[in-house]
Amino acid sequence: MPDAKPLALPLSRDVAKTLQAGDFCLLTGPMYTLRDAGHARLLADMDACGGSLPYDLSGQTIFYAGPTPSAAGRPFGAVGPTTSSRMDFATPRLLDAGIAATVGKGYRSAAVHEACMRTGSVYFVACGGAAALLAKAVASSKVIAYDDLGTEALRRIDVVDFPVFVGIDVAGRDVYALDS
């Protein structure tokens, strides 16, 4: 296993510039969970706010996850990444509005690559199939908006040593496209 780069969230653009596709990182700090239906609501809220990010999301990281109820004394029993390409309809606009990073699994569209380069944002990849293990890195959770969406609500979670790889860096290099 490669040496991990510990990263504090919110992720600064200066730190994002130092990351390269494939880097193994441990995230510590606030992240926000949001999935498909929540993204549609967030875009509508942005329209209502004149295009600005609501809920103090500027500079933050969005984790594409729908956590399960609490278990074993933790905020969630499980919290794993969902397929990121399902959020590609919203990601470029969110990055342009100020989101600094996203976390999920799988490939991203050309529009997301371009948005990462244009905005200095990063796409992190979390390991699919490890939701119970990832839940151990979540210290707290609070619903911020869209509670009626259940697992797709906007939640602030605080993570400690949350393991990810850099999937797309600010230069547009993609871990899925790197030569072996």
Domain count for the chain, please give it.
1
- Position 65 in a domain: yes
Would the pTM of this model clear 0.85, i.e. be above it?
yes
Q: What are 129's two structure tokens?
A: 């199939």
- Position 178 in a domain: no
Q: How is 124-177 classified by DSSP, letter by letter? A: EEPPTT-HHHHHTTEEEEEEEE-GGGGGGSEEEEEEEEEEEEEEE-TT--BTTT
- Position 83 in a domain: yes
Burial zone of 21 (CB within 10 Å; 0-12 exposed, 13-18 middle, 19+ buried): buried
**Cα separation, 41 vs 38, whole angstroms:** 5
Phi, psi for residue 40 in degrees, rounded to 5: -60, -45
Determine the pLDDT at residue 99: 98
Determine the pLDDT at residue 130: 87
Q: What are 44's two structure tokens?
A: 């509508």
- Profile the chain (180 residues) by mean pLDDT over runs of 10 residues: 89 97 97 95 96 95 89 85 96 98 96 97 93 92 95 94 98 82
Q: What are 78's two structure tokens?
A: 């499980």
Determine the pLDDT at residue 74: 85
State pLDDT tens for residues 145-157: 999 999 899 999 9
Domain limits at 143? 5-17+25-168
At 78, the amino acid letter reads: A
Determine the pLDDT at residue 180: 45
Give the CATH number of the domain where residue 73 resides.
3.20.130.10
Q: What are 74's two structure tokens?
A: 């933790």
At 62, the amino acid letter reads: I
- Position 174 in a domain: no
- Position 173 in a domain: no
Determine the pLDDT at residue 2: 67
